[in-house]
Amino acid sequence: AAAAMGLWALALLLGALRPGGASAPARNVLLLLADDGGFESGAYNNSAIQTPNLDALARRSVVFQNAFTSVSSCSPSRASILTGLPQHQNGMYGLHQDVHHFNSFDGVRSLPRLLSQARVRTGIIGKKHVGPEAVYPFDFAYTEENSSVLQVGRNITQIKALVRQFLQSQDERPFFLYVAFHDPHRCGHSQPQYGAFCEKFGNGESGMGWIPDWKPQLYRPEQVQVPHFVPDTPAARADLAAQYTTIGRMDQGIGLVLEELGHAGFHNSTLVIYTSDNGIPFPSGRTNLYRSGTAEPLLISSPEHTKRWGQVSQAFATLLDLTPTILDWFSIPYPSYSIFGTKRVQLTGKSLLPALESEQPWATAFSSQSHHEVTMYYPMRAIQHQQFRLIHNLNYKMPFPIDQDFYISPTFQDLLNRTRAGQPTHWNKTLHQYYYRDRWELFDCSRDPTESQNLAPDPRYAAIFQLLRTQLLKWQWDTGDPWVCAPDAVLEKKLSPQCRPLHNEL
């Protein structure tokens, strides 16, 4: 028995040795996710808002300037983050909750499944919003499925306690902890008593409850920075001011989580990633595949890659890169398998760890959206390559749909009222232009940062248009996109060519 124990100890020791021979410290990952967060932070040059904790994290991170979500909707984005597969490939075509009821395919090998199989302990605190459970299992879970989403997603004192509980119960395995804040999501549709962004939740006023660790920061409408794609109106400014207060709460929560990590002794072994699931919940933001709806903050802080701390990277990153990055950090290979038929699943994302060593030439990002709410069927596919963004609006003859949450927002109600009354909207487009889009939209984001001038019909850009269209189509085929032939053909896999024309006058 002693000999067997000795062999077992030797195996453990050898397992801990890297090829270089030096003993490898345990590696962990902490993923911090904002809910509908944007660039409202000092780290991204917004001087109107106070975000000391994000700013401090940025000083220990590579700050990505060209990071994009692959889909501008909550559940599809979270599923893409946790699988490395776009929504049309993982099956999470729209929102997971209630009547929407979208789920990923049973055969998908998600990040939490792969980590668990490789003996990495997994934890989630906050908003999960994906399913089924068998595809997204976590060893430690406090989410809307077993708790109040306000308590586990916005009450930063509760989040701090749950992070402490997770870290104190940590065994010898490495860990992946996913803290998914519900801030700064809108709240007027679900809990209007707490304000448009739940900015009053836990502020200590009568009936609002009290979050002991939160020191609310209040902003005046005239203080905020209005993004170029949001109407500059008193209503929108007041909306943004409320959003800033909830971003402040999340920022303080991030500070508490990182403090817990340090107290537990894990700060020198943990890769920390901060990003957001989709664009901000304003016109041209969330649910849109414009740059304004897909560009995300992305901070990656590695204790092993200190030489680029505080540096800005122009390399393109997408949230489809997070699964390959985390697998790379843990040295776990991606399995060979198929979801349907015999076609092998290939990750189209890449590990971002090389960008922590030196600047990378990456310059392409893909996006794919089919639904948000179940009624909001407006499939779009997009590619950003260098400064050019091409969007394919498959159902372009339909008006662009509006979600319930955004519809009742002060910003959108004001926009509707001004449009109906024929008053100036102080917006960079009309409601009609927003609803009715061209089939193909091509923008030069360097010359036209507001994405106002569609270059797709311009013959001078025909070569660029064709190049991007070809790249986009190849990605759709590579990722098994069921929409690859739409809207003017039908996919028939057993025929050649597979896209059979409909002659439907499109």
Mean pLDDT, the chain, whole residue set? 95
The pLDDT tens digits for 161-188 are 999 999 999 999 999 999 999 999 999 8
The pLDDT, as a whole number, for residue 26 is: 84
The beta-strand segments (E) located in 349-492 are: 364-369, 380-385, 388-393, 440-444, 489-491
Residues near 176 by beta carbon (within 8 Å), at least 6 away in sequence: 28, 29, 31, 111, 112, 115, 120, 121, 122, 123, 326
Mean pLDDT score, 367-376: 98
The pLDDT, as a whole number, for residue 1 is: 56
Tell me the two tokens of residue 390: 């091409």
The pLDDT, as a whole number, for residue 24 is: 54
Q: How many angstroms separate the CA atoms of 233 and 397, rounded?
A: 30
Pairing of β 62-68 and β 388-393: unpaired
The pLDDT, as a whole number, for residue 10 is: 41
Active site residues per annotation: 74
Half-sphere exposure of 467 (CA within 13 A, CB side): 10
C-alpha angle 231-294-499 in degrees, rounded to nearest 5: 120
Does 267 score more than 90 pLDDT? yes
The pLDDT, as a whole number, for residue 165 is: 98
The pLDDT tens digits for 289-319 are 999 999 999 999 999 999 999 999 999 999 9
Does 393 score more than 50 pLDDT? yes
Rounded to the nearest 10 degrees, how much is the dihedral formed by the CA atoms of 317, 69, 116, 262? 70
The pLDDT, as a whole number, for residue 111 is: 98
187 near 198, Cβ under 8 Å?
Answer: yes
Confidence of residue 391 (pLDDT cuts 50, 70, 90): very high
The pLDDT tens digits for 212-260 are 999 999 999 999 999 999 999 999 999 999 999 999 999 999 999 999 9
The pLDDT, as a whole number, for residue 9 is: 43
Is there a cis peptide before residue 174, judged by omega within 30 degrees of 0?
no
Mean pLDDT score, 440-453: 98
The pLDDT, as a whole number, for residue 8 is: 45
Residues near 440 by beta carbon (within 8 Å), at least 6 away in sequence: 390, 391, 392, 393, 454, 456, 465, 469
The pLDDT, as a whole number, for residue 379 is: 98
Percent of the chain's residues with pLDDT above 90: 94
Percent of the chain's residues with pLDDT above 70: 95
